[in-house]
Structure formats: structure tokens, C-alpha cells
Chains A and B, each alone.
Chain A
Amino acid sequence: MNTLIELKNITKTFDDQQVLKGINLKINENEFLTLLGPSGCGKTTTLRIIAGFDEADSGELLFDGIEISKLPPYKREVNTVFQKYALFPHLNVAENIAFGLNIKKTDKTVVVQKVEKMLELVGLSGFEKRDVTSLSGGQQQRVAIARALINEPKVLLLDEPLGALDARLRKEMQTELKKIQKEVGITFIYVTHDQEEALSMSDTVVVMNDGYIQQIGTPTDVYNEPENRFVASFIGESNIIKGTMIRDCLVSFDGFEFECVDKGFKENEEIEVVLRPEDIDIVKPENAKIKGTVESVVFKGVHYEIMVRTELRSYMIHTTDFFEVGLDVGLTFGPEDIHVMWKMV
């Protein structure tokens, strides 16, 4: 895969507040890349720097190997789907979609054909003459995507595009977006704070916090092998426990030693362990090292969320089996369920 966009040590400060503290990122062709993080982490600023709406204070921005930091947005080969869509209220659906082509003085008949094709792609055939303000959120969203894609950009930037939609429609649009990305075969850079959205759509997830990139990896990587406490707690539920790496494949926490699959740490290094709630099994107390009492049980639909009070902490467990409050239980997990990560400084 070829690198299409490269960010080298990008920093940005707004009113004395440093929003980006040195971002290094390579984005490949045809990749669905998601910038994931809580609000204020710098993900939208990163996107705006790529689009050209904001200029980085320092660092390089390469597009196809060429430095483009100083290039105004209207000369860049990227298009954006805005958070609130920003459809022009004085133009109808077809005119909105054709905006980019009309600016380039494209032949009228070509424009009409392309608009029709785009509307078909986003599932809005026959909506040409509609007033954009009369459309529902989901439909406006589709128009915004069509308006961006008709320019055949090399990269489509999406700034929390599903944020304003209800849960059901959001699910539907996730599938749709992924399908569109496959169909047009271009790079999508997607900004969201919704971890589920990021995990289900992306090829690569970039987890950001506090102006830094915390981890870059596939959705499975960032979920199963979080690099630090922030990633572990931001993506999914987790039990995070301080511990010590005794040697490769042997870790100690809560006063017991456990076999694990992690290597490459120093001997006796202070680390943190992540145990995902669904990876912990509840067994009879005599069959487990860690023992405790069921503290609370909450029904969550598919599973129960059970808190088990042990000597040192409460563990969160997700299981489809029911256990009564007050029951004495043991907790077990396999070596591959233990995820060891660097301790955050």
C-alpha cells in the first residue's frame, strides 16, 4: 500500500492551548482510517489541517510526497463531509451536489449525468429538485456525501458525520459508508468519539488523547492489545490493574502470579494489566486464585454486568449467566485474556 498522506510532527496551538502536540501519522491509499478520541483530543483539528481550514504551527504535511501546508483548501484534492453537513440552503439537492463541478465549469450534460449517478450511489435517486432544508438528517447526510464524492477526491474527510443521527439510522449509515468506501475505492479519514463506530468501520484506528496519538492499529489490535491505560479504558469496558512483569510470559498482580502471552518487558517492570469484562469467567471459589463476593448484578440485555468485590478491588464481569448478589465466587481467565501494557507516565 502506498502512503498518500503523511503528517510529520504537526503541532497546533489555539489561544495558548496546545491542541496538537506533535502528530506523526501515515495514511495509505484506499484506507478507512478513523481518528478516535474524546472531545478536545485534537482529532477534528487534525482533520481540519488536512483539509486546509487550519494551518499547523509547525511540522510537515505531505500529500503524495508533496508538502501542501500552504496550499489553500480549494486547491487540495480532498473533500469534506461536515459535521452539520453545511448544505447550501439556497440551492436544491442537485445544485448542491453539482456545486464542485459547476465551479470547474464542467459541461452541463456531464454534470446532470454525474449527479444522477451520485444520487444513485447514496440511494437518493429522484431527489434532484428537492429543497435541502426539507430533507431528514439522514438524507442531508447522503447529499453531503454525494456533494463531496462527485469531485472524485483522492481522500474523503468525514467530521463526525453520524453524530446528529439517531442510533438506528447511525448503524444503517455505518454499513452504507463502508459500502460506499469500497465502491469508490478512495481513502476515508473519519473523525468520531464513538468507539463502536470506529471499531466496526475502520481498517485503521488512531486513538488520540490530549493532543497526542495514543495508539495506531487495526480495530482488533486496539481493542485486544491496548498500549496504555487510556486506550484500554476509552475503548470498551475494562478492568485495569497495576502489576509487575516478572519475566516474559509471567505477570504478577493482586498477590498472585499468572501466565500470560506478553513479552518484551523488562524483568520486574511495573506495568498495568487489562482484563476485559467478557474475558473473565465466574467459577466456584475453590477453582480460582482470585476469590470474592458478588456485589451487584445489572441486566444489560444480552448479558449481565456483574461486579465482584475481591480483597483488593471490584472486578467488572460480563456474562450471560446469572449469579445472585452475596454469592461467594472465584474468578478465572486464560493467559491470552491478560493484556499487559505500559504504565502511563
Chain B
Amino acid sequence: MRYFKNLVKPYIAWTAVMIVIPIFMMLLYSITNSGNSLVNIQFTFENFKRFTEPVYLSVFIKSIKLGLITVVICLVLGYALAYIISQFKESTQGVLILLVTIPMWINMLLRTYAWISLLSDNGIINAFLDKLGIGPIKMMYTDFAVMIGQICDFLPFMIIPIHTSLSKMDKSYVEAAYDLGANPVQTFFKVVFKLSIPGVLNGIIMVFLLSISTFVIPKLLGGGQYVLIGNLIESQFVSVGDWNFGSALSIVLAGIILFAIKWMKKIDTGEN
């Protein structure tokens, strides 16, 4: 056993260098002024105070709102798909899940660009609508476009955990519910859904986490004026160059996500 224990050491080193130290650096950046030298560090809460300014606060609220809507739509679509897939025989299920994951093999940027050519004013959808005599509908650079992009990108992350919990569920629970007089609808809500809650919560966490921190999708489909937390953080680091404020924003975002996960886990253990 001692021999195997040593095998852990490289991972500990890896985690320290690649995760713990960067997080510590971020923390340090977030509570210091810009232009500090290591010899003369000035601590400040200015960066966090800036976050409460209405401009930034509204970005956060917008991001959370959009994240929640994405989660809800993904949950409804994803649960239905996962449930339908879980009704097939096992070998077919494998193929269907593969199909669900295939889009994930393609670079996210490419997938998002594909949406631009579909949704833009002279894109494929509008060309089709034009043929039908319906005037061009503005879809690019709207909430709708950003949401479509997010939902399509993140849906597999909802389907897979739900499918996992549905497919490993013992079929005898369903039979037992039927046996005790529950019709298919009652069986679904009183047994199947309740037992799949762990998968549902995992899916919610995944999709919320991804959609609240994304910056590529709103940038491409929402346009330059469309700012979510992800974009805000990106611009602080890349264009503005205010690493301190960017770090503070990242820390706040991480805090929100951590809180959301904690809360979800609490629901999970409360249910069982």
C-alpha cells in the first residue's frame, strides 16, 4: 500500500501548481491594487466594491437570469430526451447516447459559427421564411440567439446524467408501482422522477455552471453589446488589462457557483 501511496505524489504536485497556486494568485490579485510590486503590497477591497456598481450588478443579474432560463429549457428538453432514450433496448441506447454526444466532438466555436449562418438576417432560416412570404425576422444579436446557442451546446450535459440515473434504475420499481395500482403517469411522477433526482441535480449544476461562465456564445451570437459575466471577466483580462478587478469578478462568480452546488446537494440529501 505504501508503494501505491507514492503514486499519488505527482498528482498532488500537479494540483498544487496548476490549481491551488493559480487560485491563490487570483485571490491575491482580487484584494490588491494594480501596479503592486511584491515588495510593497497594498491590500484593498476596492475591486469587490466596484462589483456592486449598478452596471456590473446588472450584468451579473442578467447572466444568472439567462443561466436559469437555459437550465429550465435544457431540463425540460433533456429529461424528455433522456427518458425516451432510456426506453430503448440497451444496445440502441448506446448508439443514441453516442449521437447525443457527437456535437461535442466538434469545436464549440465552429458549432457557434454554424448558428450565425443559420440565424443571421440573410441566413438559411430567413431565406426559407422569405420563400414562404414571411418577412425576415431579426434573430442574431438577441437573447433568443444566445439562448439557442447555449441550449444546443449544453443540452448533452443535461441528457447524460439524467439518462445515467434513468437507465441504471431497477425496472422492478416501475413494475412495483404498476402493481400497486399506479397508472403510467402516476408511476412517472411518484417513482421514476423522484428516483432520477440525483441525475437531474447533476445536470442542472453542469448546465448552470457552463452557461453562467460562458463568454464565446454571447460574444458571437449576442454581439459586442451583449455582455455577460464571462465576457466581463474576459475583457478585464484581455482588453482592459485590469487583472485585479477581473480576479475579483472571477472570485464572485466562483462563489455563486459554489453556493449553487452546495444548495443543490442539500436538496439532493434532503430528498433521500
Residues of A whose CB lies within 8 Å of any CB of B are: 51-53, 72-74, 78-80, 82-84, 86-90, 99-100, 103-104, 147-148, 151
A74 and B271 in contact, given A86-B172, A89-B195, A90-B195 (Cβ under 8 angstroms): no
A82 to chain B, nearest CB (A): 5
Q: Is B170 an interface residue (CB 8 A)?
A: yes
Most buried by B among A52, A80, A151: A80
Which residues of A have CB within 8 Å of B40?
A: none
Which residues of B have CB within 8 Å of A151?
A: 180-181
Instruction: Supply 4 further A-B pairs (C-beta < 8 A) apart from A74-B183, A86-B176.
Output: A79-B180, A88-B195, A90-B271, A148-B179
A84 to B183 alpha-carbon distance, docked (Å): 22
A151 to B178 alpha-carbon distance, docked (Å): 13
B168 to chain A, nearest CB (A): 13
User: Are B170 and A103 interface neighbours, CB within 8 A?
Assistant: no
User: Are A51 and B195 interface neighbours, CB within 8 A?
Assistant: no
Please give me the residue from chain B that is nearest to A48 by CB atom: B175
A75 to chain B, nearest CB (A): 8
Most buried by A among B178, B179, B194, B195: B179
Query: Which residues of B (250-272) have their CB < 8 Å from a CB of A?
Result: 271-272
Q: Is B117 an interface residue (CB 8 A)?
A: no
Which residues of B have CB within 8 Å of A103?
A: 180-182, 186, 190
A103 to B178 alpha-carbon distance, docked (Å): 10
Please give me the residue from chain A that is nearest to B174 by CB atom: A86
Which residues of B have CB within 8 Å of A78?
A: 179
Most buried by A among B180, B190, B271: B180
Contact digits for B161-190, partner A, Cβ 8 Å, 1 yes 0 no: 000000000101101111111110010001
B161 to chain A, nearest CB (A): 17
B179 to chain A, nearest CB (A): 5
Which residues of A have CB within 8 Å of B191?
A: 88
Give chain A's interface secondary structure class: loop
User: Are A74 and B181 interface neighbours, CB within 8 A?
Assistant: yes
Most buried by B among A73, A83, A89, A147: A73
User: Are A100 and B194 interface neighbours, CB within 8 A?
Assistant: no
Which residues of A have CB within 8 Å of B183?
A: 72, 74
User: Are A73 and B179 interface neighbours, CB within 8 A?
Assistant: yes
User: Are A51 and B182 interface neighbours, CB within 8 A?
Assistant: no
A74 to B186 alpha-carbon distance, docked (Å): 11
Please give me the residue from chain A that is nearest to B195 by CB atom: A90
Which residues of B have CB within 8 Å of A84?
A: 170, 172
User: Are B182 and A79 interface neighbours, CB within 8 A?
Assistant: no
Please give me the residue from chain B that is nearest to A98 by CB atom: B180
A80 and B179 in contact, given A86-B172, A89-B195, A103-B186 (Cβ under 8 angstroms): yes
A88 to B186 alpha-carbon distance, docked (Å): 14
A148 to B179 alpha-carbon distance, docked (Å): 8
Contact digits for B132-171, partner A, Cβ 8 Å, 1 yes 0 no: 0000000000000000000000000000000000000010
Query: Which residues of B (35-67) have their CB < 8 Å from a CB of A?
Result: none
Query: Which residues of B (196-219) have their CB < 8 Å from a CB of A?
Result: 197
User: Are B176 and A82 interface neighbours, CB within 8 A?
Assistant: yes
A83 to B195 alpha-carbon distance, docked (Å): 20
Which residues of A have CB within 8 Å of B186?
A: 103
A191 to chain B, nearest CB (A): 14
27 contacts between A and B (CB under 8 A): A51-B175, A52-B178, A53-B178, A72-B178, A74-B180, A74-B182, A79-B179, A80-B175, A80-B176, A80-B179, A83-B172, A84-B172, A86-B170, A86-B172, A86-B175, A86-B176, A88-B176, A88-B191, A88-B195, A89-B195, A90-B271, A100-B180, A103-B181, A103-B182, A103-B186, A104-B181, A151-B181
A90 to B194 alpha-carbon distance, docked (Å): 7
